[in-house]
Amino acid sequence: MVRKNINVLSQATIDKIAAGEVVERPLSVVKELVENSIDSGASAISVEIKDGGKSLIRVTDNGCGIPRDQLALAFLRHSTSKIDDTSDLMDIHSLGFRGEALSSISAVSRVELITKPQDQFMGSKYVMEGSKEVGLEEVGAPDGTTIFVYQLFYNTPARKKFLKSDTTEANYIVEMIENLALSHPDISFSFSVNGKEKLHTSGNGALKDCIYQICGKEISDNILYVEEENDRYVINGYIGNSTIARGNRNLENFYINGRYIKSSLLSKAVENAYVGFLMQHQYPFCLLNINTKEANIDVNVHPTKQEVRFDDEIEISDLIYKIVRDRLNFREDIKDVYLEEDKSAKVSSASILSDLEYKSVQPFEKNKMAAVREKLIAEIHKDSPYERQYKDFYEAKDAVEEAEHKETDSNLNVNSYVDTNLSNDIDAIADANANISTTAPQPQKIIYEQASFLTPEAKAKHKIIGQLFDTYWMVEYQDKLYIIDQHAAHEKVLYEKTMKKIHEKEMTSQLISPPIIVSLTTKERNLIEEYMDSFVGIGFQLEDFGGNEYAITGVPGNMFSLDCKSIFLEILNDCENIKPTDSYDIVLEKVASMSCKAAVKGNDRLSVAEAEELIDELLSLDNPYHCPHGRPTIISMSKYELEKKFKRIV
């Protein structure tokens, strides 16, 4: 190897190397600039890109602006207004703090920045090109900052060559902006691609409205509010019903002090809480905001700050599990089914209004219709302490929908319509909410009401129609037909009884004589040795019989009359699906769920008395709506749906 002299790199080379670490693609530029806008105190942020961000990126905000005498300083490496020294690293309240964004971006693009602090009469225009200052002049400008990034990677063509298609790059950006919008519902975000608006949030501060505007009506209609607070953490947000689960983790969102993060620890805690509520390989919707002292976490463990390290991982994991599990146990989760999707069904007020486009001339001006729209959506989705379960509230909501569907004169002025109709309906909703707040008790904590169908009061009014296909029981209650899967329901009853006995140390085991001898493979023997405590915990008694054989000398009490050998082997084989990282309690729960083979099967004929007893047992459960494997135990169909099919309603 030929020895070479050691040289000091030029500043231009240093800047390009540094830019390669910070600016990987257009997404990196937009992320850094939008986070700066958030840190500036902006209440509205507008982002525009062209050609996937390769030819143009524009970010405009109405934040504090940058004084003219600090513009050149802002583009130097490691210059920042967010920290002063190392002591501040343990108390960071901003999204960015390294001071590399503007320097790195200007090293690989042409940058034009226009800014004006609120206390200055004139603004400034500052132009950089490849880390070189091109110009600084005084210009007229609104309060805040607008930054244009042109021709990204124009001086590093090799890096530009590895970018993906314009559509793919734009998709990366919109996903990132959605994450920021969901963590900052008090900021109005807009995002445009090649002149077409793709995203616009109201910025009214209501998280549920923001979820509606980004995730859509189906998700916003099927989420549950959660909150919890202790001396270290304040947690709030939303989790989803089983109806909006997905086959991947794309709907799992976690934020630490307003910063979007990815955390396998938190994902695992949430997913464990959903065990028994979702089918296998289904993942829930969740959006959880976690606020804590910076001393409890380390946010500087990853260059993009999308990962954090907790000082006590067991505490936060257990807390998240408890919050989610408790909330899931206290809500009705009976899915309404439809014989056919009704294309002509009336949509909600919020859905209709979501089609109204924002026509504002400037990014931060909202016209009259937009303002009314925000207020209306806020009233429709406003959370009460009882999850909007009040008749008065729904009557007011229906009044809005009815008003929107009234025929109006074709010449009716939009502003007149807004003033005379929607405003009155908004007042009606506000009055209904006011009545709720004054007449309902005001608890210290949010109270979640339990099911309506599965209560002793409701059961007294149940009308059992009969058994269908020797598998499903049909029950009439109020204006709905409820259909109960006898196998899934009985499985759930047995599972919860088993888990209760395990936790109360009352699990019974029935001795059998002679013992059952099972021949096992080496893999099966290893599984028995690994999960022996769990098998004993649910009532099995096992002894090594020598060679590849084990003797079953005792079985759980609820299996005594069944084919215990087949059930044992089936449970044992299911143990292969248990993850090595699962805790003992989770393994025990999974083994207990497998043991529910004693449940009555489909095609088993039950008497009405047995069906009534099954419903009675469901009443006593914390979560009667899903079997241990996540399948629903009960579905419902409305009288309205049936009458449509018989053309009683057209």
**Digit-coded pLDDT (tens) for 243-280:** 788 878 888 999 998 889 888 899 999 999 998 788 77
Instruction: Indicate left, alpha or beta for 291 from its phi (over 0: left) and psi (-120 to 50: alpha).
Output: beta
Question: Domain check: are 61 and 190 in the same one?
Answer: yes
Distance between CA 215 and CA 238 in Å, rounded? Answer: 13
Element (H, E) at 549: strand 549-556
* DSSP 3-state of 99: coil
Distance between CA 236 and CA 253 in Å, rounded? Answer: 12
Distance between CA 163 and CA 172 in Å, rounded? Answer: 12
CA 336 to chain centre: 22
> Which residues have CB under 8 Å from 79's CB, separation 6+?
73, 99, 103
* DSSP 3-state of 309: strand
Distance between CA 458 and CA 452 in Å, rounded? Answer: 7
Tokens of 620: 């006593």
Distance between CA 571 and CA 565 in Å, rounded? Answer: 10
Identify the domain boundary among 406, 439, 472. 439
CATH, residue 547: 3.30.1540.20
Question: Domain check: are 246 and 381 in the same one?
Answer: no
| Cβ pair 494, 482 in contact under 8 A | no
Total domains present in the chain: 4
Question: Domain check: are 495 and 420 in the same one?
Answer: no
> Which residues have CB under 8 Å from 650's CB, separation 6+?
644
**583-586 contacts at long range (C-beta below 8 A, 24 or more positions apart):** 584/533, 584/534, 586/272, 586/275
- In the prediction, which pLDDT does 45 show? 96
| DSSP codes of every residue in 325-354 | HHHHHSS--PEE--SS--TTPPPPHHHHHT
- In the prediction, which pLDDT does 308 show? 76
Question: Domain check: are 485 and 616 in the same one?
Answer: yes
Looking at every residue in the chain, the average pLDDT score rounds to: 75
- In the prediction, which pLDDT does 418 show? 37
| Cβ pair 339, 645 in contact under 8 A | yes
- Strand pairing class (549-556; 541-544): antiparallel
Torsion angle of the four alpha carbons 28, 31, 33, 39, in this order, in degrees rounded to the nearest 10: -140
- In the prediction, which pLDDT does 211 show? 92
Question: Domain check: are 288 and 322 in the same one?
Answer: yes
In a domain, 447, yes or no: no
- In the prediction, which pLDDT does 443 show? 41
Tokens of 310: 């907790």
In a domain, 629, yes or no: yes
Question: Domain check: are 165 and 16 in the same one?
Answer: yes
- In the prediction, which pLDDT does 634 show? 87
**Digit-coded pLDDT (tens) for 551-589:** 999 887 766 556 777 778 877 877 777 766 666 666 666
Question: Domain check: are 239 and 328 in the same one?
Answer: yes
In a domain, 446, yes or no: no
| Cβ pair 426, 382 in contact under 8 A | no
**Segments of the chain scoring below 50 in pLDDT:** 1, 8-9, 16-20, 79, 81-90, 92-93, 97-99, 341-370, 372-373, 376-377, 379-398, 400-401, 404-450
Rg for the chain (alpha carbons), in Å?
A: 30
| DSSP codes of every residue in 140-192 | ---SEEEEEEESTTTT-HHHHHT---HHHHHHHHHHHHHHHHHH-TTSEEEEE
Cis peptide before 303 (omega within 30 of 0): no
- In the prediction, which pLDDT does 496 show? 79
| Cβ pair 527, 520 in contact under 8 A | no
Question: Domain check: are 251 and 280 in the same one?
Answer: yes
CATH, residue 301: 3.30.230.10
In a domain, 203, yes or no: no
In a domain, 498, yes or no: yes
In a domain, 495, yes or no: yes
Question: Domain check: are 60 and 188 in the same one?
Answer: yes
CA 378 to chain centre: 20
In a domain, 299, yes or no: yes
**216-221 contacts at long range (C-beta below 8 A, 24 or more positions apart):** 217/347, 217/348, 217/350, 217/351, 217/354, 218/244, 219/244, 219/251, 219/285, 220/350, 220/381
Question: Domain check: are 311 and 357 in the same one?
Answer: no
Question: Domain check: are 40 and 116 in the same one?
Answer: yes
Identify the domain boundary among 277, 310, 336. 336
Tokens of 209: 């409205």
* DSSP 3-state of 472: strand
Range of the domain at 387: 349-439
- In the prediction, which pLDDT does 65 show? 92
Distance between CA 314 and CA 420 in Å, rounded? Answer: 56
CATH, residue 126: 3.30.565.10
Question: Domain check: are 386 and 313 in the same one?
Answer: no
Identify the domain boundary among 306, 336, 366. 336
In a domain, 56, yes or no: yes
